[in-house]
Every structure is written in structure tokens, then in C-alpha cells.
Structure 1
């Protein structure tokens, strides 16, 4: 794709990156076949190729409009198009660049600004989000359905292991997950403890930065990333083996710290090292399959449907590892039809674009229900909460299955 960038972005870091991405696009349109919003709406501008054209026009100097903003807002950033693209177009990075510029040119309605500000200021701050979630859980039966969908029932985390092991890994506690589903991280700590690995949480670490960064407060998101690098670095110097992610949405962002902070000389080298050390939990557990088989083979007699989050299968390009671990310990794992498609959660998308989000959720649940499984498992808190809001079938993190089976076996 030929480009002629406007002077306002030419020879800038963002401009150079956008130009390189645009030049890879060959207009083939393969991406539209796997774009969830294009499938729902049938509009070229609500597919990756159309959005790429819109971004290109803005970067070449054409003023953005409210229509431009609306089409970019409707993108889930699921990055399914990246898995499909034969040319390796890094659409996720391009849309971040385009959205920021479009938002600078187009004034949002006041109602949108209020909601978006509330999300990006409250969600990343545990001291704000935790008491709000606790209050919501206390009042959950009285909440309207739309709000109740965002407030999972209160969950008890269970005991955190206290054994000290020579092998140590860092865990990103996260910002919303500890309040919404505290058992996920606790279950991870218990499973790894049983395998001889101690999980450590850095007290000063917090939100991975994805929420603010992807809502066009990129400076705020980068500051969240710098805070985490500072919090984790003493542990890295002390020799931790990995930085473990139990939420794939966080993992895909932390794995990009090296790229996102490459322009910052004070953080570039450390951020790159953090990204190298970052592993989704599904990348850690395969090394322990033999131990888990000895402990659990045949003890989890369940048929489960696995929903692979977009941030895992498309963002991190990790496929088959969760299924492999679960099958190794005897679980009957089913993938539903169109398992490559987004469930509609997509971070804050289910709040900002509820109509499209719930259409995608219901399509996904229909396919998951068709597997006739007794439980649905996933690997990201957003997907888990979103799917659970539409079904009576239990939805949980896959590590909780392993944790429960280890507890029963012991």
C-alpha cells in the first residue's frame, strides 16, 4: 500500500511505525472473513481493511470525522485479522496509533467522555475499584441486569501457600481480577506450590497499562508500565524465572513493554527484559505435565468447553497449550465451532459497545452449549465474566480445575 504521510506525523516514531505497517497491506481482504464486527454488520468500514483505509486517510491529512471515530470504536481489537493476514500486518499497533490521532481531532459527546474517563480512572486503581466491586456484590440482587452482568458473585480465594521454594516466579496480581475473581491467582499459587515453585507478588505493581493505553490515554498507560518495571526489577535481579500472567489480556500487553517503551532510554533495556520473562500460565505448565499426570491422571472426569481468549490465540499467538495441559491430566476438552472468534468482552468493549458485545456473546455461548459440556473454561477474567453473564453453566479459569483436582487428590 503506497502512503504519503502528512507533515504532522511524518518522521515521528508513530508515523514511521504506521508507514511500515501500512506498506505491508496488499488489500487482499482475507481479514474480513475473520472479523467479528464485519460478520455482524457487513460494512467494509467495520472490517480491518476498511479501518486501515480510514486510518491511512487520516495519517495522510484528511480530517477525521465522527464516522471515522465510530468505525474505529466498533473494532474489538481482537487481532483475529493478524492471525489471518498473509502479509503480517500488525493491525493492533496501527489501530492504537490511528485511534489516538482521531480522538485528538474529533470531540466526543459529553456522555461518552464521562463514561470513558470513569473507566480509565477507576478500573486501573485497586483502591477505587475494590471497594466499588465489594459494594456491588453486596447489592448484586438489587442491581439492574446490565450492571449485574459486570458484577460477579463474591468468590472466596482460599489459602495462599506459605512454603518457601528455591524456584521463584513473579505474578502480576492485576487491577480488577483480585476483586472480581480472587481465586484465580490463589489457585495458580497453590498449583505451582505443589510443583515446587513459589509465586511472588510485587506490592507496588498494579494495572498492566492496557486499560489506559487502549483508551487513548497512552501516556497514562506507559506510566503504568514504567511503575511495573520498577516494581519487578529487584526481583528480576534476584533471579526470578518468569513473570507469570493468569489474564491473557494483561499478558499480551506486558509482552509488548519492550516495544512500547523502546523510545524511553531510562526503561528500554529493562522493559525488553521484562517482556522476555513474561509467560502466560499456559506456557509455564506444560513443563510440569509429567508431574501433573502422576498426581491427577484420571481424577478430573469432566467434559469442558474451552474458550481461547483472543488475547491468547491472536495477540500472543498461543494455541493448543491449555488444551494440552488439561488433556494430559484426563480432562475431556472441547473446542466449539468458530472458536477463533471473539466472545465480545474485549476489555471495556462490553461497556462501550454493549449491543455488539452481547450479540457476539450469545453467538459464542450457543456454540459452547452445543458441545454439551458441564463447564466452560477460559484464560482471561474479561471473557470469564462476560460469558458467565449469559449462561447458567459454570464459567471459570482453567487453572481452577487443576487446583480443585489437586486439593481432592491430597
Structure 2
């Protein structure tokens, strides 16, 4: 579509990117057919095409209102629209630019600022988040139902991690939420990879991937976290680490964008591109491995929920299902597997009503095949879906680890 950025918008650091995305949109509307919020609300401005128009008007100098902020806030950033778009519109790039610009123009309410500030002060800090999670579990009976639903139903302690002993070594991102909510996930990944001749090595200096801050319009802080992680990983990369493995697809999707987001940084641009090239979701490692040697056996029936960050951002839809099928697991069919569960990072907290509706719709689809367990590949989806108190939800690697017959 034709667009003419205002003089003010042309001063933005990413103005050229915004203009390129706007011009690539042909306004066909195919994106609305797969947009979760458009399907729920039926409002053109709560679909990708409408939001693109809102951002176009904003960047062209039209008056900006709180309504624009509301419609952009309701976007899940699921990127389902990108998988559908025949023109290859990089909607998430425009959304990041538009939200950042909007944040400078429209003041938020005190309540919104406090909520977002609290989330950014707590979530990216693994130690603090784990301590608060443990306190919440002890006080669980006293907490309101909304908070109880955010805590793991059946906390599983981290099992033993094998000491590094193989020539093949890969780094692992510990994450910020996962150590508190599902500490056994990375431990299970380490045990499975150890059986396959790969040592998974933690880097304590690496912290939050930066996605929480970046997607809550504190983009500078998010990129600073990315730089700190690059510094933490760099010695091991120079020493020959094969990959940087993520067991949370949300983190993986963001790390794979380090190269693009820091491309103009004279000190980190090249390093960021190297890190993004080395970033792998766990399934990318497993699908290339000789899985037959694991001797897996399980009678459980599984349904897999594919996170948006795995299928739409990383383009790995079907990969986990393929690995699980190779290992002999029984998978039930899941209708509308492309749709979002409503977790979307902090979305379940900032947009609780829409998030719960999406969660219940997703669970209804996942449970059609009457699975014993629902498995997924992202801690946000896992916690959000499990919080409904229905079919148990776990990370898929834990089920693989438990079903392995091969001793360590």
C-alpha cells in the first residue's frame, strides 16, 4: 500500500523498515481469517489488517488516541498472520516499531504502568521469580484463585543433570520463568542429550533472553539483555560450542532475532548474527539425532500443543510431532493446531479475559482425542494451559526422558 511517513516518523531509527513493511501489505485480508483476536472480537481493528492501518495512520501523522493503544495491546504477537500472508508481510517488525512509537505518544494509566513495571521488575530475574514461586506454593491455600492458577499444579523438582563428559557440547539457556515453574525441563533435556552423546552445558552468566522487556515496549532494556547474553556465551562459542539450545520456544524465537535486531551495533552486530545462527530449539537437535538408540517406551496418549513461537516464528510446525512419532508415542489429532492458546508472554496477565477465552478454546481442541497428557514446547503455554485444571500439561522432553529405557 502507498504510504508517506510524517517528518517526525522519518526520524525514527527503524523508519525505513516500517515503510518497507507497510508497502508490502496489499490489504487482502487473508490474515484476518487466522487471527485469534479477530475471530473472538470480530472487529477489523483487532485483526492484522486493521492494526496495520492504525500504525500507518499513526506513522503518517494522524492523531493518536488511546483506542489505537488498546487495539495494539490486544495483539498476541502470535505471528499467525505471517504464516498466512501471501505477500510475506513482516507484521511483527511493524508491530514492534509501532508499539514503541505509540508508547512515546500516549501515556498509560497508573494501573497499567504499575502492572507492566512489576512484570518487568520480577519476570526477567530468575532468582527472584523462583523465590516468589516457592513462597506462592507454600501460601497457595491463602491465595486468590487467579494467582493459584498461575502456579504449577504439580511442581516437579529438577532431577540430576549429567556432568559434561562428551566431546560434543552445546550451551543451554536456563531462562527466567522456567527454572521456577518447571525446573526439571532443562534437566530432562540434559539427560536425553547425554544418552545421545551430547553434553548440555549451562552458562550461569546468561540470563533472561530479553523478550519480556522488548515486547513490553522497553526495547532498549531488552537489547541490553541480549548483549549481556552474547558476552556470557562468547567464550564458549570461541571454544567450539556447537549450538545454543532453548527448551522454551519463546526464548528461542527472540534469540534467533538477535542478529537482525543488533545488526547496526558496531560492537555486537557480527557476534549477534553468530549467536542467532547457533540458536536451536531442542527439537532441531533431536530430529537430527539417532533416536532409535534411546529405546523409548510409553503407553500414554499425547496431544501436542505447538506454541506460536515454534510454528509461526521459528517455522518448526510439525517438528516435535515428528520426533515423538519416531520415538513411538501415540499422538491424538488436534483441530486448528495453528491457533494461539492465549499465553503470549505476559498477555495472560495484561489481557486476562481474552487470554482465558483463547485458552479454553485451545483446550477444547486439544482434548478432542482424549489424551492422557498434553505436551508443549514453551513454558508460557505449559503454565497457562495447565492453569485451567483440566488435562495435565507438561514439556514434551520430560515425557521422552521418563520413557527412556537406556540407562545414563
Scaled by the length of structure 1, what TM-score is found?
A: 0.97
Please state if 1:148 is matched with 2:161. no
The CA distance in 1 between the partners of 2:232 and 2:386, in whole Å, is 33
Does structure 1 retain, via aligned residues, the 8 Å contact 2:195–2:294? Answer: no
The CA distance in 2 between the partners of 1:233 and 1:385, in whole Å, is 31
Q: Residue 355 of structure 1 corresponds to which residue in structure 2?
A: 353
Displacement of 1:11 in angstroms is 5.6
1:238-257 paired onto structure 2 within 5 Å: 238-257=239-258
Please state if 1:85 is matched with 2:85. yes
Q: Residue 223 of structure 1 corresponds to which residue in structure 2?
A: 224
The CA distance in 1 between the partners of 2:86 and 2:116, in whole Å, is 34
Q: Secondary structure at the match of 1:128?
A: helix
Does structure 1 retain, via aligned residues, the 8 Å contact 2:151–2:181? Answer: yes
Does structure 1 retain, via aligned residues, the 8 Å contact 2:66–2:106? Answer: yes
1:56-67 paired onto structure 2 within 5 Å: 56-67=56-67
Unmatched 5+ stretches in structure 2: none
The CA distance in 1 between the partners of 2:219 and 2:273, in whole Å, is 18
Q: Secondary structure at the match of 1:390?
A: coil
1:326-365 paired onto structure 2 within 5 Å: 326-365=324-363
Q: 123-132 vs 75-84, which deviates more?
A: 123-132
C-alpha RMSD of the superposition:
1.2
Q: Residue 390 of structure 2 corresponds to which residue in structure 1?
A: 392
Displacement of 1:295 in angstroms is 2.9
Q: Residue 41 of structure 1 corresponds to which residue in structure 2?
A: 41
Q: Residue 6 of structure 2 corresponds to which residue in structure 1?
A: 6
Displacement of 1:407 in angstroms is 5.5
The total of aligned residue pairs comes to 407
User: Which string of whole-angstrom CA distances, capped at 9 and with x for unpartnered residues, describes residues 316-347 of structure 1?
Assistant: 11121101111111101124111100000000
Please identify runs of 4+ aligned residues in structure 1 that moved more than 3 A. 407-410
Displacement of 1:375 in angstroms is 0.7
Q: 386-395 vs 352-361, which deviates more?
A: 386-395
Please state if 1:277 is matched with 2:278. yes
Q: Residue 185 of structure 2 corresponds to which residue in structure 1?
A: 184
Q: 192-201 vs 7-16, which deviates more?
A: 7-16
Q: Secondary structure at the match of 1:232?
A: helix
Displacement of 1:133 in angstroms is 1.2
Displacement of 1:179 in angstroms is 0.8
Q: Residue 325 of structure 1 corresponds to which residue in structure 2?
A: 323
Q: Secondary structure at the match of 1:13?
A: coil
Scaled by the length of structure 2, what TM-score is found?
A: 0.98
Does structure 2 retain, via aligned residues, the 8 Å contact 1:365–1:391? Answer: no
Q: Residue 383 of structure 1 corresponds to which residue in structure 2?
A: 381
Does structure 2 retain, via aligned residues, the 8 Å contact 1:300–1:329? Answer: no
Q: Residue 295 of structure 1 corresponds to which residue in structure 2?
A: 294
Unmatched 5+ stretches in structure 1: none
User: Which string of whole-angstrom CA distances, capped at 9 and with x for unpartnered residues, describes residues 97-143 of structure 1?
Assistant: 10111111111110110000000121101232121111111112221
Does structure 2 retain, via aligned residues, the 8 Å contact 1:123–1:175? Answer: yes
Q: How has the CA–CA distance of structure 1 residues 320 and 389 changed in structure 2, closer, same or farther, with 3 Å as cutoff?
A: same
